Amino acid sequence: MPPATRWKGPSPVDVSFEVNGHRRTVHVPPHRTLLDALREDLGLMGAKKVCDEGTCGACTVIVDGRPVYSCMTLAVATEGRSVETVEGLARDGSLHAVQDAFIAHDAFQCGFCTPGQIMSVVALLRATPSPGADDVRRAVSGNLCRCGAYPRIVEAALAAAKRAK
């Protein structure tokens, strides 16, 4: 029987990236996901770990303007890049238009998928300021919601787009 061996890989490295506008450095092993770096190293608990294998979207954050599954992104791959999480959306005590619309249109129930849904919608509205309902559906089609808030999510996204104009 082989002896117990702990995984021996490259040593932890420093990774520096911008998180919600602030430069942050974490010291992580190269296989650490961005999701774990955010949650465990930076204490940002908004992005959720639901599947940890790229199938649900609850960990969605925005990297350099694009929505990504942070469980499928290595922390080291974000070196020098800009990461936005749900915690960074509200400014000066005011909610982002998408956050506001999610509340007004009741676009969540348990709320566990909500940070991911919101980040997908925020990324959509930046790229497509006047989306149609199908654009919204495509944008959040990788974000599962088991409570079934989907009709409200679509409605909230469209309302937020309208308001932002």
Partner 1 sequence: MTRVVRTRVEFEGSVSEELALVQDDDAAPWAEGEALGIVGHPHRRIEGVAKVTGRARYTHDLRFPGMLHARMLRSPYARARVRRVDPSRALALPGVRRVLHRFNAPKAAFRGEETIFREEVRFVGDEVAAVCAETEEIANEALGLISVDYEVLPHVVDLEEAIDDASPRIDDKGNVHEADTYSRGDAKRALREADAVVEATYRTPTQMHNSLETHGAVAVWDGDQLTVHESTQHVFGVRQGLQAALRIPLSRIRVVCDHMGGGFGSKGGVGKYTIVAAIFARELGTPVRCVLDRHEENLAAGNRSATVQKVRIAAKDGRMSAIAHEAWSNAGQARWVADPTGPTKTLYDVPNVLARSHRVLANTGSLAAFRAPGYVEGTFALESAIDELADRIGADPLALRRQHAAADRDAASGLRYSLKRLVDCYDIGAKEIGWPRRKPKGLRGSAPGLRRGLGMASQIWSGGGTPPAYATVHINPDGTAVVRIGTQDIGTGTRTIVAQVCAEALGIDVGDVRVEIGDTDSPYAPISAGSLTVASIAPAIRLAALDARAQLLDVASGVLEVGKGELRVERGHVVSAGARTPIADILKDLQNYTVIGKGSRLPNPEDLVLKTFGAHFAEVEVDPATGRVVVERIVAVHDIGRVVNPLTARSQVEGGVIQAIGYALSEERSVDRATGRVLNADLEDYKVPTVKDVPRIVVRFVDVPDTAANSTGAKGLGEPPIIPTAAAIANAVANALGVRIRTLPLTPGRVLEAARA
Asked if residue 41 binds partner 1 (CB under 8 A), the reply is no
Among 154, 158, 159, 160, binds partner 1 (CB under 8 A): 154
Cα 107 to Cα 39, 75, 81, 98, 159: the distances in Å are: 24, 30, 30, 10, 11
Among 4, 23, 80, 92, binds partner 1 (CB under 8 A): 4
What b/e sequence results for 85-101 when a residue is b if at least 16 CB atoms lie within 10 Å of its CB, and e otherwise?
bbbbbeeeeeebbbbbb
What b/e sequence results for 128-160 when a residue is b if at least 16 CB atoms lie within 10 Å of its CB, and e otherwise?
eeebeeebbeebbeebbbeeebbebbbbbbbbb
| Closest of 75, 87, 140 to residue 113, by C-alpha | 140
Among 16, 64, 126, 147, binds partner 1 (CB under 8 A): 147
Asked if residue 22 binds partner 1 (CB under 8 A), the reply is no
Query: Least CB distance from residue 132 to partner 1, whole Å?
Result: 14
Cα 128 to Cα 97, 110, 165: the distances in Å are: 15, 28, 12
Instruction: Please give the Cα distance from 88 to 44 (Å, whole number).
Output: 10
Query: Least CB distance from residue 137 to partner 1, whole Å?
Result: 5
Among 41, 104, 128, 164, binds partner 1 (CB under 8 A): 104
Asked if residue 33 binds partner 1 (CB under 8 A), the reply is no
Among 19, 37, 85, 159, binds partner 1 (CB under 8 A): 85
Residues in 48-67 that interact with partner 1 by CB under 8 A = 48-53, 55-56, 58
List residues near partner 1 by CB under 8 A: 1, 3-4, 6-7, 39, 43-53, 55-56, 58, 85-87, 89-90, 95, 99-100, 102-104, 106, 108-115, 118, 137, 140-154
